[in-house]
C-alpha cells in the first residue's frame, strides 16, 4: 500500500508497488502503442500505464485503493483491436539480453521485402521487362512471399481492427497492396497482356515496413533519456550481514534499514542516508547538477547516483517504487503517454479519416474504371501545370492503381505521430536537464505563459535565512534572555525564519498553549502572559507599539533584511533582523525572462521595503512587487493577474505555495530530488538553481512550436497527396515511399529538441 509523508513542506505520495505487466500483440507502430496506452488508462483504478512498442509489453500501475484486475486490462486492449495476456512473475521485469538479428521485428519485413522487391525494381526500371510474360511469372514468385509473410503483420492488424468495428493504417496498406496483387494475379492467370503490378504490391509493403523500422529506431532515440533513467540503478548491492560480513544481493531483496557499503565508483542502488564516511556524489543524471555534491553523515543519497571518491556506509530508507528515481521515471513516462489538448484536433480527424479515404479510393476506382476517357483527359490537362506521368491505359488497371495509390498515400500515421513524438522528445530533453514536466498539457501551457511570479524565500533567495542583528527593548525575566525565549518559541515551527531563530539557543522551554498562525508567527503562554514572535504586520494588527524600533527597522529593511518582532503581552521586547542570501544568477534569470518578453513579479510576506530591496537587486520593477502577502492571498493575486489577461507561471519552493501553484496556469516547483511526487506543480526542477526556469519555458515553447509544425506538415501532406494520387500523378510505389518519408520528417523534426539550447 502507499503511504503519505511530508518532505520539506510537500505532501509526497509514495508510489504504490501494485502493478500488472501484459504482453500485447498486434502493435505495429507508435500510433498503435498510443491507442493501447489510452485503452489501459481508461480502466477504472489504473494510476498510470506505459507501453514499450519494441518489447510488445505494457506496464500498468494501480491506485492504492484499487484491486488489480488483469482481466479488465486485457478486455480493454482487445476492445481497442489488439491481443493481450498477463505475464507471470517470472516473465516480468527487465528483458534478457537479445542477440542482434536482421530478421527481428520490422527488420524481417525490411530485409525479406528488400531481397524480393529489389530484383523487380531493377527488372522493370532498368531493363524494361515490365511487359515480358516470363518476367510476370518471376514477379509473381517474388511478390508472393512478401504478400504472405511480410504482409501478415498488416493483415493481422487490419483484421483485429475490423473485429472491433474500426480501422487504421494497417487497413489502408492491406487494401492497397492486396488490390494491386490480386489484380495482377488475376491478369496473369487469365493471360491478359500489358503491365502487371506485382512490383508495386511488394514495394508498398516493403517501403512501409522500412519506414516503420526507421521510425522505431528514431523513436528509440527520442526515448533515449528515459531508457538511461531506467538503466541508472544497479541490479545488485553490497549488503552488510548481521555478523558484519558483506554479501552481494539483488536490489529487490533490500529492505528498509538495511546497511549497504558503497565503494568509489559504485552507483547507489536505492535511496538511503549516510551513516559512516564522506564522499562526493555525482547526481548529474538525476538532477542535472554538473558538479559532484559533497556528502557527509546524515545526508541523503538517491538511487542511480554515483559515489565518486570515498567509501560510504548507507542505511536504506526507500526501495522499489518509493525511491526518488522511480518517481522521476514514472513522471517522465506519464508525460510521454499523455495527450496535449492540441492533439484533439489530430485525434478527431484521424478517427474519421480512414473511412473517408476508403470512400475516396472507391470513387477514384469508379472514375478511372467507368469514365476512363474523362479521367485521362483531366489528367493530361493537369499534367501541363504539374509534371508528366503515365497512368495505366487499361480502365481496370487504372482503377486499381489509382485506388491503391490513394489508400497508401493517405495513411494517417504522420498525423498521429505529430504530437506524441514531440512530447516524448521535449520531456526527455527536459529530464536530461533536471526538469520534470508533468504531462503534455503542462508542456502546452508552459509554451503559452506571459507572466512569471516568483515567491521570494527559497526561490529567489537561498531559503536559509540567518539572524544577523537584534535590538532589545525590555528584559524578559531574570533567568531567561530575550534570544533564549525567541529561540525556544520558534523551535516547534518548521518555517525557515523560525528555524533560523531557533539556532540562537539550544535550550528548550515547555510553553503552554503554543500555537502557530500561518503567514504571521507563533505565540504561547509564558509566566501567565502571551508571548509572540512574528511579522511586524501581525504585531501591528494586535495593537503592539513598534515605534521604538523604527530606526532598526529602517536600517535593516533597506538592506533586504526580514524583521521579526518579539512581544510579551502588549509590549515589544525585541526585534530581530534576518537576511536570506539571494541565489547566484537570480538577476540573470530575471533578465532572461524579460528578454523572452515575459512580465516578472515578486510576491512575499515581507514588508514593502525589504521586498523592494530584493526586487531592486534582481531587476524586478517596483510596480510588480507584492509585499506583506499571506499564504492564503498568494492564489488571489495570481487570480487577479489572470483576470487581467495574463497567463501566469507561479514559481515556489513548495512551502505554503500549493494554493498558488494550483491557481496558476503553470506551477513551477523549485524542488529537490526527494520532492518529485508533488501533486501541486506542473513542472518540477530537481535542483534549486532557478537558471532552469527560462530554459524550461523556452524548451516548452520550442516543443509547442514543433507540435504545430508537425501537425501542419502532416495535414498538408495528406491534403496534397490524396488528390494527386487520385488523378494519377503518384504511383503506389511513390505513395508508399512518401508515406514513410512523412513519418521520418515528423520524427526528425521532433528529434531536433534533443539538441535545443537556450539562445543567449
Torsion of CA 374, 377, 378, 381, to 10 degrees: -160
What average pLDDT does the segment 320-335 reach?
66
What average pLDDT does the segment 36-56 reach?
81
Q: Give the 3-state secondary structure percentages of the chain, helix then strand then coil, rounded to 5.
A: 50, 20, 30
Tell me, yes or no, whether 590 and 488 share the same domain.
no
Instruction: Name the maximum alpha-carbon separation found in the chain.
Output: 119
Q: Per residue in 732-748, pLDDT tens?
A: 777 777 776 777 788 78
Q: Per residue in 269-283, pLDDT tens?
A: 888 999 999 888 887
Q: Would residue 681 count as lying in a domain?
A: no
Q: Would residue 442 count as lying in a domain?
A: no
Which has the higher per-residue pLDDT, 623 or 104?
623
- pLDDT of the residue at 86: 87
CA distances from 574 to 533, 556, 616 (A): 9, 14, 28
Q: Would residue 330 count as lying in a domain?
A: no
Tell me, yes or no, whether 342 and 407 share the same domain.
yes
Q: Would residue 51 count as lying in a domain?
A: yes
Q: In 456-570, where do the E strands start and end?
A: 466-472, 512-517, 521-526, 529-535, 562-568
Number of independent structural domains in the chain: 5
pLDDT of residue 565 exceeding 90, the answer is yes
Nearest-CA neighbor of 429 among 692, 35, 60, 759? 692
Q: Which of 540, 558, 579 is the last residue of a domain?
A: 579
Tell me, yes or no, whether 301 and 256 share the same domain.
yes
- pLDDT of the residue at 94: 46
Q: Would residue 678 count as lying in a domain?
A: no
Residues 6 or more apart whose Cβ sits within 8 Å of residue 617: 560, 582, 586, 587
Tell me, yes or no, whether 537 and 612 share the same domain.
no
Q: Which of 98, 131, 150 is the last residue of a domain?
A: 98
pTM (predicted TM-score): 0.64
Average pLDDT, the chain: 80
Tell me, yes or no, whether 124 and 206 share the same domain.
yes
Q: What is the 8-class DSSP label of residue 460? A: I
- pLDDT of the residue at 95: 45
Q: Which of 636, 664, 692 is the last residue of a domain?
A: 664
Most confident by average pLDDT, 13-27, 207-221, 631-645? 631-645
Q: What is the β-pairing status of strands 312-318 and 435-437?
A: unpaired
Tell me, yes or no, whether 387 and 484 share the same domain.
no
Structural domain of residue 291, as residue ranges?
236-322
Tell me, yes or no, whether 589 and 552 share the same domain.
no
- pLDDT of the residue at 673: 42
Q: Would residue 425 count as lying in a domain?
A: no
Tell me, yes or no, whether 536 and 597 share the same domain.
no
Q: Would residue 717 count as lying in a domain?
A: yes
The values of phi and psi at residue 20, to 5°, are -130, 135
pLDDT of residue 663 exceeding 90, the answer is no
Q: Per residue in 442-476, pLDDT tens?
A: 777 888 889 999 988 778 887 778 898 999 887 76
Does residue 364 contact residue 403 with C-beta atoms inside 8 Å?
Answer: yes
% of the chain residues with pLDDT over 90: 14
pLDDT of residue 433 exceeding 60, the answer is yes
**Residue 500 Cα to chain centre, angstroms:** 37
Q: Per residue in 186-210, pLDDT tens?
A: 888 988 777 788 888 888 788 778 7
Tell me, yes or no, whether 269 and 407 share the same domain.
no
Separation of alpha carbons 37 and 27, rounded Å: 11
CATH number for 562? 3.40.1110.10
Does residue 27 contact residue 691 with C-beta atoms inside 8 Å?
Answer: no
H helical segments located in 164-197? 169-190
Mean pLDDT lowest among 573-582, 674-683, 743-752: 674-683
- pLDDT of the residue at 620: 92
CATH number for 44? 3.30.70.100
Mean pLDDT lowest among 1-5, 25-29, 304-308, 592-596: 1-5
- pLDDT of the residue at 288: 54
Tell me, yes or no, whether 571 and 479 share the same domain.
yes
**Residue 141 Cα to chain centre, angstroms:** 48
Task: Find the catalytic residue in 455, 505, 682, 689.
Answer: 455
Which has the higher per-residue pLDDT, 345 or 498?
498
Tell me, yes or no, whether 627 and 648 share the same domain.
yes
Q: Per residue in 679-696, pLDDT tens?
A: 557 787 876 678 888 888
Q: Per residue in 378-421, pLDDT tens?
A: 999 998 888 888 888 888 888 888 888 888 787 766 766 677 77
pLDDT-derived band at 286, boundaries 50, 70, 90: low
Separation of alpha carbons 471 and 552, rounded Å: 7
CA distances from 321 to 54, 68, 230, 675, 688 (A): 23, 16, 12, 14, 24
Alpha-carbon dihedral sign for residues 367, 368, 374, 375 = positive
- Region of 731 please: left (phi>0), alpha (psi -120 to 50) or beta: beta
Tell me, yes or no, whether 458 and 476 share the same domain.
no
Q: Would residue 675 count as lying in a domain?
A: no
Separation of alpha carbons 567 and 575, rounded Å: 9
455: annotated active-site residue: yes
Amino acid at each position: 500500500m502507499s503511504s503519505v509523508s511530508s518532505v520539506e513542506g510537500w505532501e509526497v505520495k509514495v508510489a504504490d508497488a501494485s502493478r500488472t505487466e501484459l504482453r500485447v500483440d498486434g502493435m505495429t507502430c507508435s500510433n498503435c502503442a498510443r491507442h493501447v496506452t489510452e485503452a489501459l488508462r481508461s480502466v477504472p483504478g489504473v494510476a498510470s500505464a506505459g507501453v514499450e512498442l519494441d518489447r510488445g509489453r505494457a506496464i500498468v500501475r494501480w491506485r492504492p485503493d484499487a484491486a488489480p484486475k488483469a482481466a479488465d486490462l486485457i478486455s480493454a486492449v482487445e476492445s481497442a483491436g489488439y491481443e493481450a495476456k498477463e505475464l507471470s512473475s517470472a516473465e516480468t521485469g527487465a528483458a534478457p539480453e537479445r542477440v542482434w538479428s536482421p530478421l527481428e521485428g520490422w527488420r524481417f519485413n525490411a530485409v525479406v521485402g528488400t531481397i524480393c522487391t529489389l530484383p523487380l525494381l531493377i527488372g522493370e526500371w532498368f531493363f524494361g521487362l515490365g511487359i515480358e510474360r516470363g518476367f510476370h511469372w518471376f514477379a509473381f514468385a517474388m511478390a508472393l512471399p512478401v504478400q504472405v509473410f511480410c504482409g501478415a503483420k498488416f493483415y493481422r492488424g487490419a483484421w483485429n481492427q475490423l473485429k472491433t468495428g474500426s480501422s487504421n493504417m494497417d487497413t489502408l496498406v492491406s487494401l492497397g497492396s492486396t488490390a494491386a496483387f490480386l489484380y495482377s494475379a488475376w491478369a496473369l492467370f487469365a493471360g491478359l497482356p500489358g503491365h502487371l503490378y506485382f512490383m508495386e504490391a511488394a514495394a508498398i509493403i516493403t517501403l512501409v515496413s522500412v519506414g516503420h523500422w526507421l521510425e522505431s529506431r528514431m523513436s528509440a532515440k527520442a526515448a533515449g533519456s528515459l531508457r538511461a533513467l531506467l538503466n541508472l540503478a544497479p541490479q545488485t548491492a553490497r549488503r552488510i550481514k548481521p555478523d558484519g560480513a558483506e554479501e552481494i544481493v539483488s536490489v529487490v531483496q533490500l529492505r528498509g534499514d538495511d546497511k549497504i557499503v558503497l565503494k568509489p565508483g559504485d552507483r547507489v542502488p536505492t535511496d538511503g542516508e549516510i551513516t559512516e564516511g564522506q564522499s562526493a556524489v555525482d547526481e548529474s543524471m538525476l538532477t542535472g547538477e554538473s558538479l559532484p555534491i559533497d556528502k557527509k553523515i546524515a545526508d541523503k543519497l538517491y538511487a542511480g547516483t554515483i559515489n565518486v571518491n570515498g567509501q560510504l556506509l548507507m542505511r536504506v530508507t526507500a526501495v522499489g517504487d518509493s525511491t526518488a528515481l522511480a518517481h522521476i521515471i514514472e513522471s517522465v513516462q506519464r508525460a510521454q503517454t499523455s495527450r496535449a489538448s492540441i492533439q484533439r484536433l489530430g485525434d478527431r480527424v484521424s478517427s474519421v479519416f480512414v473511412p473517408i479515404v476508403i470512400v475516396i479510393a472507391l470513387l477514384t476506382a469508379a472514375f478511372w474504371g467507368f469514365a476512363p476517357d474523362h479521367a485521362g483527359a483531366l489528367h493530361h490537362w493537369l499534367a501541363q501545370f504539374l509534371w508528366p506521368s503515365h497512368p495505366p491505359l487499361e480502365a481496370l488497371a487504372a482503377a486499381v492503381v489509382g485506388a491503391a495509390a490513394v489508400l497508401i498515400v493517405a495513411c494517417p500515421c504522420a498525423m498521429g505521430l505529430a504530437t506524441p513524438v514531440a512530447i516524448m522528445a521535449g520531456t526527455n530533453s527536459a529530464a536530461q536537464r533536471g526538469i520534470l514536466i508533468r504531462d503534455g498539457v503542462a508542456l502546452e501551457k508552459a509554451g503559452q505563459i506571459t507572466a512569471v511570479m516568483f515567491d521570494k524565500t527559497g526561490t529567489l533567495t537561498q531559503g536559509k535565512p540567518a539572524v544577523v542583528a537584534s535590538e532589545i527593548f525590555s528584559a524578559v525575566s531574570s533567568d531567561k534572555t530575550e534570544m533564549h525565549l525567541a529561540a525556544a518559541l520558534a523551535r516547534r515551527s518548521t518555517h525557515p525564519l523560525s528555524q533560523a531563530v531557533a539556532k540562537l539557543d539550544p535550550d528548550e522551554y515547555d510553553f503552554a498553549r503554543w500555537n502557530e498562525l500561518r503567514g504571521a508567527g507563533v505565540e504561547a503562554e509564558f509566566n501567565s502572559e502571551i508571548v509572540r514572535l512574528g511579522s511586524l504586520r501581525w504585531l501591528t494588527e494586535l495593537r503592539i507599539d513598534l515605534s521604538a524600533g523604527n530606526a532598526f527597522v529602517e536600517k535593516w529593511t533597506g538592506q533586504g533584511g526580514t524583521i521579526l518582532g518579539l512581544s510579551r503581552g502588549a509590549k515589544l521586547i525585541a526585534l530581530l533582523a534576518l537576511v536570506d542570501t539571494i541565489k547566484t544568477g537570480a538577476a540573470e534569470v530575471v533578465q532572461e525572462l524579460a528578454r523572452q518578453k515575459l512580465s516578472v513579479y515578486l510576491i512575499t510576506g515581507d514588508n514593502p521595503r525589504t521586498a523592494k530591496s530584493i526586487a531592486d537587486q534582481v531587476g524586478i520593477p517596483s510596480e510588480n512587487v507584492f509585499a506583506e502577502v499571506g499564504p492564503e492571498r498568494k492564489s488571489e493575486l495570481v487570480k487577479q493577474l489572470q483576470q487581467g489577461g495574463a497567463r501566469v507561471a507561479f514559481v515556489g519552493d513548495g512551502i505554503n505555495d500549493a494554493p498558488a501553484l494550483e491557481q496558476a496556469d503553470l506551477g513551477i516547483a523549485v524542488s529537490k530530488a526527494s520532492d518529485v511526487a508533488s501533486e501541486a506543480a506542473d513542472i518540477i526542477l530537481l535542483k534549486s538553481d532557478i537558471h532552469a526556469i527560462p530554459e524550461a519555458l523556452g524548451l516548452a515553447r520550442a516543443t509547442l512550436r514543433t507540435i504545430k509544425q508537425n501537425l501542419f506538415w502532416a495535414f498538408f501532406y495528406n491534403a496534397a497527396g490524396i488528390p494527386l494520387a487520385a488523378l494519377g500523378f503518384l504511383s503506389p510505389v511513390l505513395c508508399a515511399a512518401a508515406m514513410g518519408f512523412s513519418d521520418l520528417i515528423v520524427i526528425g523534426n521532433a528529434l531536433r529538441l534533443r539538441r535545443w539550447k537556450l539562445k543567449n
